[in-house]
Each structure stands twice: as C-alpha cells, then as structure tokens.
Amino acid sequence: MTPDGSRRFAARHAEALENRFYRLAQGCLLSSIGIGTYLGEPTEEDDAHCTAAAAAAVRSGVNVIDTAINYRRQRSERSIGAALISLFDQGAAARDELLVCTKAGFLTPGAVPEGVLDSPEVAGRMHCMAPAFLEDQLARSLSNLGLDAVDVFYLHNPETQLRFVSRAVFEDRLRAAFTLLERLCRQGRIACYGIATWDGLRQRQDSDLRLSLPRIVELAREAAGEDCRLRFVQLPFNLAMPEAFTRAHQGEPPSHATLLELAARLGITVISSAPLGQGRLASSLPARVRDAFPECWTDAQRALQFARSAPGVTTALAGMSSLAHVEENLALAGVPPAPLERWLSLFESGQ
C-alpha cells in the first residue's frame, strides 16, 4: 500500500469516505473494518468461501486484509492470493491500494523447514522466532499470496515463548527477530512489521506472559535505531476484552497510560482482532449495548461498531465466511463511528 493508492481506493467509495469509514494511519487511509481469515476448516469449500468473501469485502470498501501462514494450514493465505488475482485482473483494486498483512511464529504442518522442530530455538515444539525460520516463513507466505512483498509482517503471539524460556532469552530472540525484519524492510520484502498478540498486551504486571509496549519499541530501536519500522500492534479488543482502553498498561508512565494511549504516543497503529469474540458477541447482547448503537440493526454490527469506534483503534478485523456476512458487516461503511460520549457511556458505573 502507498498513501496515494489508499486515497485512490477511498475516493472510489465516496459514501464510506464521507462517513469516516477510513482512518489515517502511517500516512495511509485504512478502512475501519478489515477482513480476518482465522476461522474455518482446511477444506476446498472453506477456501472458496474465504476467497469470495475477501473479494466482496474489498469491492465493498475494505482495504485491510489480515491472514497468517498457520491459518487453516496455509489455505487462508492461498485463498487470499486467489482473491487478489481476481481483484487485480478485474480492475477492482490495485496492489498499492491494499494493506496486506500476514504473520509467522507458530510451526505449521507442511511449512516446517527440515530440522527446525528439534532446534533449541523452538519453544515448546510449537513456536519459533529464529531469523532463518522467519525468513523461510515469509518466503512461503509470499508464494501463497502471490505477492512480492507484504505491507505488515507480524510476529505471531510472541508471548507464547515466555511459557518456556526466561525473559532475558525472550528479549534476545525478539531483538534478533527485529534485526532480521529491518533487513527485510530494506530489501523491500516487507514494508513494516509489528506484533500480533493474544495474551501479552492484556496481562497484568504480575503475569509471566506480560509484554510491555514501550519495551518492545525499545528493543526494535536497539536493532535499528529511532527510525525502526515497528509500526503495528494487533490484539483482541471487544466488548468482553476492553483492557487496552480500561487498564493502565502495567503502570507505564506517563500517568499510568492505557495501551491505546501509549501506542498513539509511540506512533504505533492498533488493529483490533476478535471484535466479535469469535462469534460469541454476534448475538444476545444486553439491552444497554443495543441502546448505545441505535444506528445498527444486528448484534454483530453493534460489536463491530464498538470496536471500530474506540479511540485509538484504527481497524477492527472481522472474519467473514459468507457473502451474507460481508453484506451485514460492511453496511457499517455507510454509518459514521459512534459518537465518543455515547461510546463512553458503556463504561459508566451503575449501568
């Protein structure tokens, strides 16, 4: 993606642009809803659903696409690759208009280089951040996607390693990974990088799995200087998991800021995963949540509206396994984000 490409894409979706569906991040206009590809089975049927949904989402105004090499055992990446071919061939999108993101870290059946499984650099026989492994995974991802480069390359749940190694070893491994990722940026194989977490950035200070965003940025700067290309963080943020907004980020100064506040100060773009709670928040929401989002007519839309309206969240990623899901979710492209006062009312005591 380029700044000009993102603006060209947004301009073709005038209603969405007018309704503030796009947010400025890292110099580009990113859609406030992106398509995620985590859920599904490794089957041809789900391949076809994923490809069709991704293509339809882009045609509806989405320009943020998120996947990972381990999602459906590489099949999600390949399904996205098929969607991109169709979109580019039909002139529905250009490469510089889309933010394509993938991840590496977990060992994926069919994508494990020979000898890696028994390497001492593998944590728990499931996770690896060794530079040679990450470079191998990127090459496989690029082949799956049919691309020469990805826009964001995430280290996938790096906190997994803290279950098996000391924090000192973990930080050494993270610093080495960042050194590699900086080299891949210089080579043009990735535009920037980040960390995609599940537990690490939501943990309390006394948790062994906690990650400190300022410390992560510090390690990246040790690897590359102040101009490091660590630019994105992905973590779950939804009605049931609002810690990035509600909890001080491990007592970090200044003023015990939240993760969302610290990310903004550090120039890090925050992407919300699991805004629908992997489907658990798509129905049966309480009345006060429904009342907070009168512009929505389904609970799935309300959950998405909550995540994408959060101050400091750029994009909420939604898995869309059918064209009906795309139509329902992307109806929000014609709806402005919820006003801040109304959004904040959900956190008022006594409600």
> Please, what are the domains in the chain?
3-17+33-328 (3.20.20.100)
Rounded CA-CA distance 215/28 in Å is 26
Question: 312-344: per-residue pLDDT in tens?
Answer: 999 999 998 889 999 999 999 999 999 999 999
With bands split at pLDDT 50, 70 and 90, how would you rate the model's confidence at 351? very low
* Residue found by looking up tokens 């630019």 in the block: 231
- The b/e string for 85-94 (b: 16+ C-beta within 10 A; e otherwise) is ebbeeeeebe
Question: 203-253: per-residue pLDDT in tens?
Answer: 776 688 899 999 999 999 998 888 899 999 999 999 999 999 999 887 665
Pick from 305, 310, 266: which is nearest to 285 by CA?
Answer: 305
* Residue found by looking up tokens 């773009």 in the block: 269
CA distances from 297 to 9, 238, 253, 322, 330 (A): 27, 18, 40, 19, 13
Q: Is the pTM of this model over 0.75?
A: yes
